[in-house]
Amino acid sequence: MGMKKIGMLTSGGDCQALNATMRGVVKGLYRLCDNVQIYGFIDGYKGLIYGNYRMLTSNDFSGILTKGGTILGSSRQPFKLMRKPDENGLDKVKAMKENYKKLGLDCLVVLGGNGSQKTANLLSQEGLNVIGLPKTIDNDLWGTDMTFGFQSAVDIATNTIDCIHTTAASHGRAFIVEIMGHKVGWITLYAGIAGGADVVLIPEIPYDIDKVVKALNERTKEGKRFSILAVAEGAVSKEVAALPKKERKKLEENPQFVSTAYRLADELTRKGIQDIRVAVPGHTQRGGSPCPYDRVLSSRLGAKAAQMIADKDYGKLVVLVNNEITAIPLEESAGKLKYVSPESDIIEQARTLGISFGD
């Protein structure tokens, strides 16, 4: 195999296994190709738009398997603004294509979630060779059973619930643990089950506050001194869920409370539930070292991407389906979110365990 010039970027919210995945790609490429040049674009698509990159060698990828964050830096570049010129009138899509061509790249590897892969698909349709890798703590990328970053975030969220358990039991309190996830509830669902939460509220199942109160009161009646509520930051009440989109947007833009957990605490207090505390692990869920599961998943995904580059198999997103690493066309996944289905067996099993979803 001849010389391969590969561009790489990490886009959107960071997560624990970005470095591990890049390392997987590069290690694979060094084995499969004679001569590899790696161009790392700084801060995601911003680096590709403004031609800000650095040449990377194998040394850059040494010792980063366990390192969280991203050695390339990341930024959020909303997909809906990609076709809009920047403040200086620069055509972003044209600029990205020109920088790709100027460097003579054979392929651009995009590590990112939903919005990032929409842009990857756009560049692929514009004629660039692109491969996507499924990154997000939210596990909401359509077409893959698992995204890297998810399991590490679940570990941290679960650890928070575990720590809260002991203090809640000591003081006989109800604790709301607010877990990341605006649109989907995968992290909350998994951490809620793993942490033994009594109530789990996710965006896909709007809650009825009276049902939540009933679940908490029943625990008190059974002689339980405390309760744990695992609540997604995007959890909504049935009333809010029923509002027209514009009304909902207004509420989101002018929130009365710092976050969902505090709003819920207020609702519960007004319904007579006493002594509620709120814990928000926040960005700790994105941080730290990737868990072993994510290191394995990332290494596999990276190796597959390297093989695809060697085979010139472009325009695809590398995915995990039924525990096999495979790939699907970028357009198949772009713009589609993978929600938790309220009818899924995991929800049914959680209900069997006595978890209330407040519905």
325 token code pair:
């690493």
Rounded to whole angstroms, the Cα distance separating 12 from 245 reads: 25
User: Which residues participate in catalysis according to the annotation?
Assistant: 138
Is residue 168 classed as helix, strand or coil in its secondary structure?
A: helix
Rounded to whole angstroms, the Cα distance separating 226 from 70 reads: 39
Q: Which residues are paired to 176 by β-bridges?
A: 229, 278
Q: Of 180, 214, 182, which is closest to residue 198 (Cα–Cα)? A: 214
Question: What is the number of helices (H) and of strands (E) in the chain?
Answer: 13, 11
Complete edge-to-edge strand list for the sheet that includes strand 199-201: 199-201, 227-232, 174-179, 276-279
Backbone phi and psi for residue 229, each to the nearest 5 degrees, phi listed first = -115, 120
For the chain, what is the largest distance between any 2 Cα atoms, rounded to a whole number of angstroms?
72
Complete edge-to-edge strand list for the sheet that includes strand 3-10: 53-56, 35-41, 3-10, 107-112, 130-134, 316-321, 324-329
Within 8 A by CB and 6+ apart from 272, the residues are 213
Backbone phi and psi for residue 271, each to the nearest 5 degrees, phi listed first = -95, 10
Q: Of 160, 200, 228, 170, which is closest to residue 347 (Cα–Cα)? A: 200
**Are 5 and 33 within 8 A, CB to CB?**
no
Q: Of 71, 62, 73, 53, which is closest to residue 26 (Cα–Cα)? A: 62
Rounded to whole angstroms, the Cα distance separating 304 from 31 reads: 13
Q: Could you tell me where the DSSP H helices lie in 33-185?
A: 45-49, 92-102, 114-125, 150-171
- Calculate the dihedral angle through the C-alpha atoms of 54, 55, 60, 61, rounding to the nearest 10 degrees: 110
